[in-house]
Amino acid sequence: MELSDFEKKIGIKFKDEGLLTQAFVHRSYINENKSSGLENNERLEFLGDAVLELVITDFLYKKYPNKSEGDLTAYRSALVNADTCAEIAKKIGMESHLLLSKGESKDKGRARQYILANALEALIGAIYLDQEYDVAKKFIEKHFTPLIDEIVSGKTFIDAKSLFQEKAQEFDGVTPTYKTVKESGPDHEKRFTVGVYVGKELVATGEGESKQDAEQQAARDALLKRGWSV
């Protein structure tokens, strides 16, 4: 597996090329290639997730000295979630190097997003082991921290479902419910339409590549329709 171009792109030359390769190996590939001698990237992902969280927590703690624990936790969740990680993985060119099973290779939907996010965390773990903490920290700061101002100003850190539930209980005395009203597309590219109800009233609908995404979109639209948006 030739990764020299990728190393140039991220500006890091690995001492142990095997660590870098491992970051791209999904468990499905091992299931189909048991004699490859490779390991999947799950242990590296476990390590990288912890390094990522530490770096971002330290960054947010210093950047926002007057923010509460709750605000900092919300910012961190928005900054290191699967969508953000997957987009960064795509931006630095990880997708074309993924080692996947034939079945997983065909899936371009929500499952691919999670695979990419996990691979990015595995890459961070590999950088940490190969280059130590300071290099991993610089990599994370370069790709993640520039996003925080947009997240805070755009209020994308707010959990729309939680906020809509809080407001519905406060003003209507009812806990909202969510129902899937439509599914479309092939299994590997599913689209879901979900409605959010207050009692029997359909307040809004949302679409997404997963039910969770569709529910969040429905909640965001419901907040706007009720005039409860922040």
Q: Is residue 121 among the annotated active site residues?
A: yes
**220 pLDDT higher than 90:** no
- Taking only the tens place, the pLDDT of each residue in 129-181 is 999 999 999 999 999 999 888 877 766 666 788 889 989 999 999 999 999 99
The H-assigned helical ranges of the chain are 4-10, 17-22, 27-32, 42-63, 69-79, 82-91, 102-106, 110-131, 133-143, 148-153, 160-171, 211-226
Q: By C-alpha distance, which of 127, 132, 122, 136 is closest to 42?
A: 122
Q: 68-104 burial string, b = 16+ CB within 10 Å, else e?
A: eeeebebbbebbbebebbbebbeeeebbebbbbbeeb
Whole-angstrom Cα distance, residue 98 to residue 8? 17
Token pair recorded at residue 210? 């997963």
pTM, two decimal places: 0.75
Given 49, 209, 215, 221, which residue is catalytic? Answer: 49
**99 pLDDT higher than 70:** yes
Q: How many whole angstroms from its chain centre is CA 69?
A: 21
Mind giving me the DSSP string for 20-41?
A: HHHTTB-HHHHHH-TTS----S
Whole-angstrom Cα distance, residue 192 to residue 147? 28
**1 pLDDT higher than 80:** no
Given 121, 130, 209, 215, which residue is catalytic? Answer: 121
State the CB neighbour count (10 A cutoff) for residue 162.
Answer: 12
- Name the 3-class secondary structure at 220: helix
Domains of the chain are 12-152 (1.10.1520.10), 160-226 (3.30.160.20)
**188 pLDDT higher than 70:** no
> Are 108 and 188 in contact, with CB atoms under 8 Å apart?
yes
Environment class of 173 (CB within 10 Å of its CB; exposed 0-12, middle 13-18, buried 19+): exposed
Please name the residues in contact with 140: beta carbons below 8 A apart, sequence gap of 6 or more. 51, 52, 55, 56, 124
* DSSP 8-state class, residue 196: E
> Are 55 and 143 in contact, with CB atoms under 8 Å apart?
no
Question: Where is pLDDT greater, at 110 or 82?
Answer: 82
For residues 198-207, give the mean pLDDT.
94
